[in-house]
Amino acid sequence: MLRLTKKADYGLMALKYLAEHPDSVSVSAKDIADTYGIPPQLLAKVLQRLTKVGLLRSHAGMNGGYELSREARRISAFEVIHAIDGPLFITSCTKGSKSCDLEPNCTIKEPLARVNESIAGVLKSISIYDLVDAETAAGRSAEMLVTLMHS
């Protein structure tokens, strides 16, 4: 349950890699795929998607590749996951498109929406930079959560 798709995982790994190599002007999908041992073409698609939503800047051609469009500190895990896996909804029926047939009966959706918000809050409080410098993540996460809950 509640598991991230591999694509999202790949995306986070790639962004982390980019954050760790700010010196390189741009890194190709293949480079990242090779170092992590993940399917190059699949990673390429993930990175293309991240580019499309504006988290990355791409550069075609020889010595081309990708670079972060903002500093790692300003890219949240939520954005990445949202871009790749789509809007995260804990309820099995996606409220967005088509409400499920048990809508009138199901009273579980509402309270679970709050849980959803909490989770989104946690994810928003984690930045790519936090993945690099893992130690700071816990503290920041707790801080953000408290303020989030008081709002």
Partner DNA sequence: CAGTATAGGACTGATTTTGTCGCAGTTCAA
Partner DNA sequence: TTGAACTGCGACAAAATCAGTCCTATACTG
Candidate residues 39, 41, 53, 142; the one interacting with a second copy per rule CB under 8 A = 142
| Opening angle at CA 86, ends 140 and 55, nearest 5 | 60
83 binds, options a second copy, ligand FES, DNA, none, Cβ within 5 to 8 A by partner type: none
91 binds DNA (CB under 7 A): no
Work out which of 12, 14, 17, 65 binds DNA, going by CB under 7 A. 65
First-to-last CA distance in the chain?
Answer: 28
Q: Using the rule CB under 7 A, give the single segment among 55-63, 70-78, 124-132, 142-150 that binds DNA.
A: 55-63
Q: Left, alpha or beta for 17 (phi > 0: left; psi -120 to 50: alpha)?
A: alpha
Shortest distance in whole angstroms from residue 54 CB to DNA: 11
Other beta carbons within 10 angstroms of residue 100's beta carbon come to 13
Contact yes or no for 128/16 (Cβ under 8 A)? yes
Q: Which residues bind DNA (CB under 7 A)?
A: 1, 5-7, 28-31, 38-39, 41-42, 44-45, 47-48, 51-52, 58-66, 85, 92
